[in-house]
Chains A and B, each alone.
Chain A
Amino acid sequence: MYWEPDKECMNREELEQLQLERLQSTLNRVYAHVPFYRKKFDELGISPEEIGSLSDLPRLPFTTKEDVSGNYPYGLFAVPLREVVRIHASSGSTETSSVVGYTRNDIAMWSKLVARILVAGGVTKDDVVQVSFRYGLFTGGFGLHYGAERLGASVIPASSGNTVRQIQIMKDFKTTALVSTPSYAMLVADTIRELGIPVSALSLKYGLFGGEPWSEKMRREIQDALGIIATDNYGLSEVIGPGVSGECLERNGLHINEDHFLVEVIDSKTFQPVPPGETGELVITTLTKEAFPMVRYRTRDLTSLKAGDCPCGRTGRRMSRLTGRTDEMLIIRGMKVSPTKIESLLFEIEGQEPNYRIVIDRKGAMDEVTVLVEAAAEASFGQERRHVGRTVETIRKRLTHELGVTVDVKLVEKKVLEPVDGKAMRVVDLRKL
């Protein structure tokens, strides 16, 4: 099933012609309408006219998160504000948030792209889609909402939070597809278990999860616990929001909507492209956005491009599921530690619910790392202390060994590690205070 088969299955040659046309017109527009880009292009002595092929892309300057927040709020808009019909902003995980705008056409285009991703993940117009992303400035809620509506599905704008009520809705409204962050899906799964509701009482078939990286182990757990097919999808507000790429039912990489986004994967040190299959930083150029075009946006997300064709028939190249962030490497006592690495190790140690938080603090001159791990259901109910102690010790040894940094591990009760704003809070760095 496809939403726009002529676009999703376009042959490469036709696609590249379309990409070049759209790239050139985007560059002409940003150069004419966005002083920031004109200045940057002029400084590099490059004019849009010099871009005659997709391989000229590396000659263009990058745009960074700092560029976006430095032009807060509307500095990078390419149309007057009166043409903007929607404004979103990324959550303030860094100093200032990115404010992004959409014209009426942008919203229509965005909805179509999200519809593509929903269809790729198994959803049809006959589904009842519960959108449990937070509605608000965050692009997830409204992005998925409009896409699902465009598809013609019955949309329940449940937003996030109040999980017990959400489950009630899920049961009574016969929700067939859940859209949320993967950590929220885990919370739903746990709560259902606690409430003693059998999965058979629900009508769920598909889950589309995004907004944060999640592992294959986590996917298996969600799929098993909720009896669904769980697919991953990717997007970020600086580029558009959800709708950049998404998995098909093969669940082997996320098809990029390449007719709307030009992607590169680069080495974030040398800025050179990395070969297919190798991990690097994802860089995205928008090809059709009117209000908020982006030229070579450095996403800081780490991924790789997959070689080969997908059996589903879509020709959009696939990116691997996110393997981390370039800027989230923790430097602990001089050692680089990736939270994603900790996550995957935790999941490898069987019997652990994949819910955790890494807390870093500095005692005197020493960094101390504590990994809070949510106790498995059995452990929290009257298991012997000795057993719990043994589990903690196993995790501690394994992490310390693999990371090369001494790590303290603590088991915490369920609900201690609640998601914040619908997203799991994985890292708390107290050293910055």
Chain B
Amino acid sequence: MLRIKNVESGYGRLKVLKKVTMHIRAGEIVTIIGANGAGKTTLLGTVSGLIPARSGEILFDMKEIGKLPPEKIVFLGCSLVPEGRQLFAPMTVKENILLGAYPQYRKKRGDQVREDLERIYMLFPRLRERERQLAGTLSGGEQQMLAIARALMARPKLVMMDEPSMGLAPLIIRDIFSIVVKLRGEGSTVLLVEQNAKAALGIADRGYVLETGRIIMAGTAEDLLSNREVQRAYLGRDLDAEGTM
């Protein structure tokens, strides 16, 4: 579904991504884990067209999207749930959700929007309850749900999520991640960027480890979870310190 080859990008003179190559097949949950500043957000920004790729190929559904503006990429079916939610705080929950339906209106599929909204409310009953509330007054977990809901309104084939667990309590994180699993169950493909490597690898099929802009490891979630370097650096575990002697 998504195939990235040798992508390099960055900000100004700073090159963040160095020859990043990766792929996602339809129906997969793939996670990119890495420390702060490794380039995870830059990678999602580059795929979604917010940051221009300096070189490399980005193929979405076998179509080169590296030079397309962000809105075209959304139209093609690739949506981003940005880091820090980026909601419109003074607008209501419903208004925020409907903003995500913009591509549907553009495609003159206004009739579908109601249907989609219903589907979203089924997935996030909490948002239905709060539909008239201002987005800024929601709890962190609810805001994250709203950000995901907004992205889903574009009917994406691929949902990219940037740190959905950020700033959330463990129980809420579990809710959010169970939604990700549900989305895949409904046929979506998910690219998940996370600092919470343990939670992300817990639901992902495969993962990539990004370190200072380079992919240093790739494998099944199972393999990465049992890799001691990953355990030490990203899972906060040190088996040797855990008294396995």
Contacts and interface: CB of A to CB of B under 8 A. Distances in A.
A14 B1 CA distance: 11
B223 A83 contact: no
Contact of B228 (A18, A21, A28, A79): A79
Given A17-B5, A17-B23, A83 B229 contact: yes
Contacts of B223: 105, 108-109
Given A17-B5, A21-B23, A79 B216 contact: no
Contacts of B19: 24, 48-49, 51-52
Contacts of B219: 105, 288
A21 B21 contact: yes
Interface residues of A, number: 26
Residue in A18, A32, A49, A109 with the greatest tally of chain B CB atoms within 10 Å: A49
Interface size class of B (residues with CB under 8 A): 20 to 34
Contact of B218 (A14, A21, A48, A103): A21
B22 A21 contact: yes
- The interface residues of chain A, by DSSP majority, are classed as helix
A83 B211 CA distance: 20
Nearest to A51: B19
B214 interface: yes
Contacts of B214: 24-25, 28, 48-49
A49 B19 CA distance: 6
Interface in B193-242: 208-209, 211, 214-219, 223, 226-229, 240
A49 B226 contact: no
Interface string A259-286: 0000000000000000000000000000
A157 B218 CA distance: 34
A224 B223 CA distance: 43
A335 to B, nearest CB: 49
Residue in A18, A52, A79 with the greatest tally of chain B CB atoms within 10 Å: A52
Contacts of A14: 23
Nearest to A29: B216
B184 interface: no
Interface string B2-23: 0101100000000000110111
Interface of A: 14, 17-18, 20-22, 24-25, 28-29, 32, 48-49, 51-53, 79, 82-83, 103-105, 108-109, 288, 290
24 contacts: A17-B3, A17-B5, A17-B21, A18-B23, A20-B5, A21-B22, A21-B23, A21-B208, A24-B19, A24-B21, A25-B215, A28-B216, A29-B217, A48-B19, A51-B19, A52-B6, A52-B56, A79-B228, A79-B229, A82-B228, A103-B228, A104-B228, A105-B223, A108-B226
